[in-house]
Amino acid sequence: MLKSIILTVVTCMLLYSCNNNQQEAKSVTNSDSISGKLTIFHAGSMSVPLKKIANEFQKENPEVEILLEAAGSRECARKISDLNKECDVMVSADYAVIDDLLIPKFASWNIKFASNEMVIAYNEKSRYSKEINAQNWYNVLLKKDVAFGRSDPNSDPCGYRSVLTVKLAQLYYNENGLVDRILIKDNNYIRPKEVDLLSLLELHTIDYIFIYRSVAEQHDLKYISLSDSINLRDTAFSEYYKTASIEVSGKKPGETTTIYGEPMVYGITMIKNAPNNQAAIAFLKFFLNKEKGMKIIEADGQISVIPSKSEYYEVTPDELKEFVKKQD
């Protein structure tokens, strides 16, 4: 009888120890699977929502350290392609930057996730702020006592979209010579990315900036909403937008590439040699989820286009296929 009791106790202890070890192993496996540093290069216009998304993601994945690095989208891509900087995820203000500069060598796919539009932003201290409107904005910008800023077309999509907006405005308002007059003025206030202009506006160094509506709203700026014919927002004007174009620097030094106007759509991808592949996939799933990352993005002034059509559907990771659909 005593032997039977001892055998039962020993058996229970062994089973408990085995189960406990399995639970610990499972816990360690889960912890180790999503941990470490996650480096994200991103467009400056995504700074505000990405910080919020990163904070929420880390609540669910406390072992992941997220490193956010903002720059113009084209500059972000060149850090990967030209400077060989380590990066896990890239978020671009123009999906075409990923297509043109990263695919196929540095990335395999690209998911379009949100839209935006161009506006003219200002604050209460801006000269002629009581007079400017959607019909006279370009006349106000051309005044001698007014200064405005825009970002660099070679490093930032907002920079070339600003130029495309002016070119479309010349056609829309039938103002011959408008492009030349706008583009030769205030070039000393061109900055690498659009959010670099915010401090100049706050300090009243400049009066107006070409910027995305979402950024203007995130920073509580006043802004002029432009006609859909020129704001690069509306897909109904896709063909019209294409009538405007701009030359920017290409993949290699000395090369140029032509960018045509089109409705603005943001894109996101994972870099092929991502140092933290598992965390990158987990973050992308969180980012693209309509109740998580995309909810934050929409609250910060952008419109979701998820699920979006993708020519890369077949090579998109299975974990992310719910966010895309096959191109017609």
Please state whether beta strands 256-260 and 89-92 pair in parallel, antiparallel, or not at all (unpaired). unpaired
Please state whether beta strands 222-225 and 118-122 pair in parallel, antiparallel, or not at all (unpaired). antiparallel
Q: Do domains 36-115+264-326 and 118-259 have the same CATH topology?
A: yes
The pLDDT, as a whole number, for residue 11 is 45
The closest of 315, 269, 232 to 43, measured between CA atoms, is 269
Per-residue pLDDT tens digits for 22-53: 443 333 334 457 999 999 999 999 999 999 99
Per-residue pLDDT tens digits for 237-247: 999 999 999 99
Per-residue pLDDT tens digits for 76-90: 999 999 999 999 999
Per-residue pLDDT tens digits for 51-73: 999 999 999 999 999 999 999 99
- Pure H helices in 149-306: 157-172, 178-183, 197-202, 213-218, 238-241, 277-288, 293-299
Domain 36-115+264-326: give its CATH architecture: 3-Layer(aba) Sandwich (3.40)
The pLDDT, as a whole number, for residue 219 is 96
Please state whether beta strands 148-151 and 64-71 pair in parallel, antiparallel, or not at all (unpaired). unpaired
**pLDDT averaged over the chain?**
91
- Pure H helices in 62-221: 73-81, 95-101, 137-141, 157-172, 178-183, 197-202, 213-218
Write out the H or E segment, with its range, that includes residue 248. strand 245-249
The pLDDT, as a whole number, for residue 31 is 41
Per-residue pLDDT tens digits for 106-156: 999 999 999 999 999 999 999 999 999 999 999 999 999 999 999 999 999
Asked if 301 and 122 touch (Cβ cutoff 8 Å), the reply is no
Asked if 72 and 192 touch (Cβ cutoff 8 Å), the reply is yes
Considering the chain, what percentage of its residues have pLDDT values greater than 70?
90
Distance (Å, whole) CA 272 – CA 145: 50
Mean of pLDDT values over 204-213: 97
Q: Could you tell me the two tokens for 283?
A: 């973050």
Domain borders along the chain are 36-115+264-326, 118-259
pTM of the model: 0.87
Per-residue pLDDT tens digits for 265-298: 999 999 999 999 999 999 999 999 999 999 999 9
The pLDDT, as a whole number, for residue 106 is 98
Q: Which CATH class is domain 118-259?
A: alpha beta
The pLDDT, as a whole number, for residue 253 is 82
Lowest mean pLDDT among 7-16, 98-107, 176-185, 301-310: 7-16
